[in-house]
Amino acid sequence: MEKSYQITGMTCSACAGRIERTLNKLNGVDKANVNFAAEKLYVSFDDKNINESEIVSAIKKAGYNIAGKNAKSEMPAHKKLLIRFIISMIFTVPLLIISMGHMVGMPLPKIIDPMENPLNFAIIQLALTIPVMATGYMFYLKGIKNLFRLSPNMDSLIAVGTLSSVVYGIFAIYRMSYGLGVGNEELVMKYHMDLYFESAAVILTLITLGKYLESLSKGKSSQAIKELMELSPKIATVRRGKKELQVKSELVQIGDTVIVKPGEKFPVDGTVTLGTTSVDESMLTGESMPVTKNVGDKVIGATVNKNGYIEYTAEKIGEDTAISQIIKLVEEAQGKKAPIARLADVISAYFVPAVILLAIIAAVGWKIAGESNDFCITIFISVLVIACPCALGLATPTAIMIATGQGAKNGILIKGGEVLENAHKINTVVFDKTGTITEGIPVVTDIKTNGINENDLLLYAAAAEKLSEHPLGDSIVKEANSRNITIPEAENFESISGMGIKAVVNGKQIIIGNEKMMNEYKIKDDFISQITTFANQGKTAVICAVDGKAAGIIAISDQIKETSRSAVSKLENKGINTVMLTGDNKQTALTIAGYAGIKNVIYEVLPEDKAAEIKKIQESGKITAMVGDGINDAPALAQSDVGIAIGSGTDIAIESADIVLMNGSLEGVNTAIKLSHATIRNIKQNLFWAFGYNILGIPIAMGLLHIFGGPLLNPMIAAAAMSLSSVSVLSNALRLRNFKADA
């Protein structure tokens, strides 16, 4: 069983790691995965060994909560953080003025002047700091709790650092009070300017600001999902009996007759029973051109009815609709971690305790070197604050969230971070032919006549083929219909297996089939030899004889998609090798491949052998993507490093492919690869800044520059830098929202 939960109370990637470790230890839990950026837990478990209540209990014991169904009505996290930041600022600003204003010539009232009343000067700072600490109580509640559990996180660093500052300040007040009591002015002067209350307050305020900006950015990063969820209409019009009713979309039942007027959205999936219209399916496919819908055609929930009155039968509702499946797929994708993300998680798990140890070593080392307590405390606090690994934890999941969301906007469904990481390594793309490079629908391309009018030939052929179940026959009937030819009823229909058909149409004997069929009925004519020309073009030639004479040849072919050649060309220009893999004969395969611009062709391959051919390519050292229909090519899709399915909106082949192209255009292959390159590049940039920040910041905080006569890193500056690093990583990730698909 698989479940997802919205987690509250996480403040950094270490929190996510703690939840994962807690759940993965439970008997019956197969795998627990937390997406920190989305604040979502995905857990697979055996419900025979463990139930949901036990999982929820374990999460709560770890110090976190699960958002209830009414979570949407609660105040958003970023608004709560904004309020906390404002409250903190109200007390921090006057605290800074009091503690540091006199240094820049700002006069203070005599009662709190550091020279006149040093004890009051210190006490007023403590009084202003306490409300700031109270506002940031969550840092202490979670940080200290996790510290005692030997699972320190970013909150632990903040809690220990700021508490150290305040405890030292309280100690200084005690020593000043003692000095005043015994008349030791020197003792009072020693401590009155070495207080760290403002450092603690500013650290908490800046970190709260950073958390607010982080929360705001995380909200933006998940915007794609929100937009998808908002696409479905809230109200549906249904006919039940003789009444038309307005009901909530979630109350529509299978079998309901749903009415959709021009400009309205389809509330659920179904089949048109009345009316003709054009439908905007851009939210599903990324294609801007409307699609014509007639009786019998499928319509998808959340798409827009452009110009006609439509009635249709509801067939898929609730979680079964295409839009719900897409949302589910994107959410799951955002929760799946790329290998590069798992590396960051491992580093983060060891990073926090290592930082605490480094802070202690640095403080003790400087004390041994003869520095003052104030100096050592400054070092200790600065190391703790600057090393908080928030940026590290956000570097990967945020980029993946935005990338998968952008993919969905462009009609490309991506199954997760690992897929993105694999996709950017692709150097060979293997295409199926039918339904992938070609439309998958045979159409009449050429008509050659021999002493007969084209329309008359089509009339005889269509009348006979109308009774046939062969797909080539269907294409002839469609061609006749497209020319508005009235097709008469055929008589004495007979199908000859492997050769063709015969029938009587308007009193004439009609024989349709291949050359073997013509030989069978002793129909000889030099005209028939023209079928060789069509065969060389990859087309199937159907010979039609009327009353024992060869009357014409109808050439039928599966047409190449308009986008196939340009898509292949773009891949080749990127240095990506292209291959066509098909079960068709050599001549047809080479012809279609030539049209598409593919030079490497593997033909006459049985469906069950396609996976083996993919494996051969992989064994030659190629990172391979397979592009197919997602059903017939399932084994090959699964074998490839990245399986890319051609989707239709209602059948997106989720199980067989890693990436689904909703609009069926091969341009999506280029877009998916381009998106993967942009995402991995963005993640590497994020990790560089996150690691670089810590690698550079920790030695400075430990006093490296001071050894060579340079300055110390003030804890307040460290707090600002830490917050800025998280915001900068998030801002860089948000640049992916500007991603543009290939034109």
C-alpha to C-alpha distances, 118 to 115, 121, 130, 185, 195, nearest whole angstrom:
6, 5, 19, 10, 11
Give the pairing of strands 2-8 and 40-45: antiparallel
Cβ partners under 8 Å of residue 131, min gap 6: 87, 91
Note whether 580 and 591 are within 8 A (CB): no
Note whether 629 and 643 are within 8 A (CB): no
User: How many other β-carbons are positioned within 10 Å of the β-carbon of residue 27?
Assistant: 9
Query: How far apart are alpha carbons 593 and 561 in whole angstroms?
Result: 12
C-alpha to C-alpha distances, 714 to 378, 386, 725, nearest whole angstrom:
7, 10, 17
Cβ partners under 8 Å of residue 117, min gap 6: 110, 111
Q: Which of 633, 685, 691 lies closest to 657, judged by CA?
A: 633
User: Catalytic site residues?
Assistant: 432
C-alpha to C-alpha distances, 266 to 272, 301, 421, 742, nearest whole angstrom:
11, 5, 36, 29
Note whether 729 and 689 are within 8 A (CB): yes
Strand, coil or helix: what is 435?
Answer: helix
Note whether 197 and 126 are within 8 A (CB): yes
DSSP string, 326-339: HHHHHHHHHHSPPH
Note whether 550 and 541 are within 8 A (CB): no
Strand, coil or helix: what is 543?
Answer: strand
Amino acid letter, 660: V
How is residue 579 written in tokens? 């291959």
Q: Which of 130, 677, 586, 40 lies closest to 331, judged by CA?
A: 40
Cβ partners under 8 Å of residue 429, min gap 6: 571, 576, 577, 578, 579, 624, 625, 627, 669
* Burial 137-148, CB ≥16 within 10 A → b, else e: ebbbebbbbbbe
Q: How many residues does the chain have?
A: 743
Bridge partners, residue 549, by sequence: 546
Query: How far apart are alpha carbons 22 and 32 in whole angstroms?
Result: 9
User: Phi/psi of residue 293, each to 5°?
Assistant: -125, 130
Query: How far apart are alpha carbons 350 and 379 in whole angstroms?
Result: 21
C-alpha R_g of the chain? 36
User: Phi/psi of residue 194, each to 5°?
Assistant: -110, 50
Note whether 536 and 520 are within 8 A (CB): no
Q: Is 707 left (phi over 0), alpha (psi -120 to 50) or beta?
A: alpha
How is residue 625 written in tokens? 């993507």
Note whether 235 and 246 are within 8 A (CB): yes
Cβ partners under 8 Å of residue 25, min gap 6: none
* Unique residue bearing structure tokens 């006069």: 107
Note whether 540 and 434 are within 8 A (CB): no
